[in-house]
Chain A
Amino acid sequence: MSSAAFTETVAKAGVDWHSDEMKARRKRRYAADRRLQIYGIVAISFALGFLAILIGSLTFSGHKAFTQTVATIEIDLSGAKVDPNNIKDADWRGIVRGALRAQMPGLSRREERKFFEMFTSSGQFLVRDAVLADPSRLNGVSRFAIPMADPIDQLAKGEISRDTPENQRRVNDQQIAMFDQLVEKGVISTPFNWGLFFNADSRFPELAGLAGAISGSFWSLLVCFIISFPIGIAAAIYLEEFAPKNKLTDLIEVNINNLAAVPSVVFGLLGLAVFLGWLGLPRSAPLVGGLVLALMTLPTLIIVTRVSLKSVPSSIREAALGVGASKHEMIFHHVLPLAIPAVMTGSIISLARALGETAPLLLIGMNAFITSPPDGVFAASTALPTQIYIWADSPERGFVARTSAAILVLLAFLVLMNGIAIYLRQRFERRW
């Protein structure tokens, strides 16, 4: 060490840390530190604020769709001309109109048309189906709930303001007056909208429901689960426990990681070209939707399963092999059962992701307009997210609230599934 360096040191030593300059400098440095912290808080608040606004606005616009304005009307069917043996073909339109006319007698033809417009145009079918379900209603007076048409529903819920000029709203003054009369007579009520869950899709918002979409999603997820769960676990076991380390397995590994990040719409293209185009499977079917979703979730499932297999300690493997178990027995009797809670958690979370997936289902036609729930995996159907897309695209005002409500239902399912996954994780997951 040269002594020249040391003389320099002495000159340099002794910084006056308490000089005003140094103090001011430290103050600036601390301020910069605080600024960074504030930026962080601002960033988090932005993200969480957005989440709050998202949920808040959806709840705000969606909660109204959980009730439906209906008119409860008494119809005396004993006098009506209905053939008990052919209920279906009776003049239900005339019967319902007659009953409605009785509520508001003495209207001119024009006024009457406006009055009928206030009720759902499918009221006749609702009454018919109710009677078909319970023919004893033919024998006397019974009450039927007839949903109000969308504009009146909006009026009742305050979405249409009475203060807007008449030519700018979809209900005219006369209809408002008639509606108020009905309210006074106690005919109008707004019960819980069970139709939202038990009706299939409809062009009329007041009748549109999610039954088709929910069962479509159910069938799709079922197919997705049946295919991706065993294949995912088998592939993970093979890659983690059996596969030799060579170029091929490396390729598979890179491939799986990449596949997990391929945009979902590309899987839709795959489904369209291969399942619909080449294999000729039916369009819009939950079977195809499930297949596409299965291919999409498979990479994630394999990755999750491999991680949980890896976390089972080698002592357990050695113990099993030590008592003479074959490699297969070691894995299927000891390792897999220990890993299965984590695998279940992972697959439920993957299924939840698949439930929210929209784009690939659009491409294979699960955005069709279908008015009855599918009865299996081959029937044309929609799914919850595609139903949301369809409704979001519909011009009727009532569909805005329905869309939000459908989103809330979808989110409820997601929360439920993730909740189960979290419960499973906390209840069964072992830490080694």
Chain B
Amino acid sequence: MSGYLIAALALAALMMTFVGCARARATQNGAAEKTHSRPIYHGLNAAIWTGVPAFIFLLLWLGGQNSVINQLVIASFPGAENLDPSARSLILSEIRQVAAGNIFKEPTPEIQAAVAHLKSLQQISTVAMVAVVAATMAIGAFLGYRVIGNRYRARHSVERSVTYFMMFSSFVAIVTTLGIVASLVFEALQFFAKVPVTEFLFGLRWEPQIAIRADQVAGQGAFGVLPVMFGTFVISLISMIVAVPTGILSAIYLTEYADRRFRAAVKPLLEILAGVPTVVYGFFAVLTVAPAVRSLGLGLGIPSSPNSALAAGAVMGVMIIPFISSLSDDALAAVPRAMREGSFALGATKGETIRKVLLPAALPGIVGGVLLALSRAVGETMIVVMAAGLIARMTLNPFDAVTTVTVQIVTLLIGDSEFDNPKTLAAFALGLILFLVTLMLNLIALRTVRKYREKY
């Protein structure tokens, strides 16, 4: 329904553009005084008046109607006032499921009544929405049409609207960040109401699956984040061990040794590695790398599990190579030519120039790049979800399975999204930690890189 409504709004706005344009032209034709705005601006102004307020109304209605309807439905449900919020949401979701036609068992008469109530409310809401939106549109069109005249500064009005839209757009980024922080903090606070913060931050056991049983009280130490952080650290470390030397060495070769043709051919190929979706790497890690790593580990006589930290970390490392390589490339290229020449003029070989002059000079830029890459490794999800383990273990054996923050977030949330049990809420607490850690890394990295850019 709302889709048709939006289309109707767009159509009406388009029509008003022409109507407004025509009327402006008509009034201007006989005018003695000089007109301020060209007809097209009058048309656009009329279109904005017609479409925008109605559209905003529509969005607000769509955003609000569900919670209002839910309130009404649950309020009319017999005995609902005695239920706690989680039971209420359970009933609500059942009502919605039945209303959507997903019937698994014969619904009780109460539910059926509620479904009927829900459907009637939805119908009323839809009709009311169409009426309100249409009315807003009509009033807008009328006002926009009436205002057309020689003296009216339609261009200013249009430009002001455009500016407001642009300002709104640039606030979207801020709103997104606020949304992230708000949702993470809000849900995490609920989690901390069930599991003490200290337990979470300093606990050494992570066994979230146990706590969902109804007879078990949450917060028996099963939500200690340290082993999960430890696993994240181990896998990120492995990926850095793979990616940092490879990335820097390939950047050195490409910027300093390779001829132009080789560089032009190889750089895009390396970039492909960064463009491959992570789910592909994950599948490859499970299918090819993990078995190879396992047989290597068993061959060395080390206890190895099918999902090893090494397999996930190594594949993640390869994914990060182009990232480090291109940032190091930029950093090396930014070292002024004079440094190179100064070193060559003293009789240094290329290798000596690179190792003793260029790398130290480019170090801040490279370090910034490595930090950004590290933040990526910490936040990378699919490779570890598919190739790392689920059980939190504090082990340094790279052939053993460990779990990471992102793995836990995904496994805790897949398939189950009730917002009240500690298992789900724990994912948001983990998300908060992940967000803070990566934010810190990003801020430091961006600052380092910027300082370095200013230097040259």
Contacts and interface: CB of A to CB of B under 8 A. Distances in A.
Q: Do chains A and B touch in the complex (CB under 8 A)?
A: yes
Interface in A216-245: 230-232, 234-235, 237-239, 242-243
A410 B382 contact: no
A367 B409 CA distance: 15
Nearest to A279: B63
A208 B281 CA distance: 22
Contacts of B162: 328
B345 interface: no
Given A43-B245, A234-B169, A270-B180, A263 B280 contact: no
A410 B283 CA distance: 13
B132 interface: no
B282 A258 contact: no
B186 A358 contact: no
A143 B384 CA distance: 47
A65 B244 CA distance: 37
B253 A41 contact: yes
A365 interface: yes
Nearest to B256: A40
Contact of B410 (A33, A254, A363): A363
Interface in B257-302: 257, 266, 269-270, 272-273, 275-284, 286-288
A124 interface: no
A270 B179 contact: yes
Nearest to A40: B253
B184 interface: yes
A280 B431 contact: no
A37 B288 contact: no
Chain A residues touching B, range: 35 or more
A357 to B, nearest CB: 7
B288 A326 contact: no
Given A363-B413, A400-B287, A51 B70 contact: no
Residue of A261, A265, A353 with most partner-chain B CB within 10 A = A265
Given A43-B253, A359-B381, A53 B288 contact: yes
Interface residues of B, number: 91
Contacts, number: 263
A388 interface: yes
Given A44-B254, A326-B159, A392-B282, A259 B173 contact: yes
Contact of A358 (B67, B163, B277, B376): B277
B349 A388 contact: no
A29 B349 contact: yes
Interface of B: 3, 63, 66-67, 70, 155, 159, 162-163, 165-174, 176-177, 179-180, 183-184, 186-187, 245-247, 249-250, 252-254, 257, 266, 269-270, 272-273, 275-284, 286-288, 318, 321-322, 325, 349-352, 354-355, 372, 375-376, 378-382, 385-386, 406, 409-410, 413-414, 417, 419, 427-428, 431, 434-435, 438-439, 442-443, 446
Given A36-B355, A53-B288, 17 more contacts: A33-B351, A34-B351, A46-B246, A235-B170, A238-B169, A252-B171, A252-B174, A255-B177, A263-B380, A263-B438, A356-B276, A356-B280, A362-B414, A363-B414, A388-B279, A389-B282, A407-B280
28 contacts: A33-B352, A36-B351, A36-B355, A37-B253, A44-B253, A44-B270, A53-B288, A58-B280, A234-B170, A251-B174, A258-B439, A262-B438, A263-B375, A263-B376, A263-B381, A265-B381, A269-B180, A269-B184, A269-B431, A273-B184, A283-B417, A328-B162, A356-B275, A356-B280, A358-B279, A362-B385, A392-B279, A407-B279
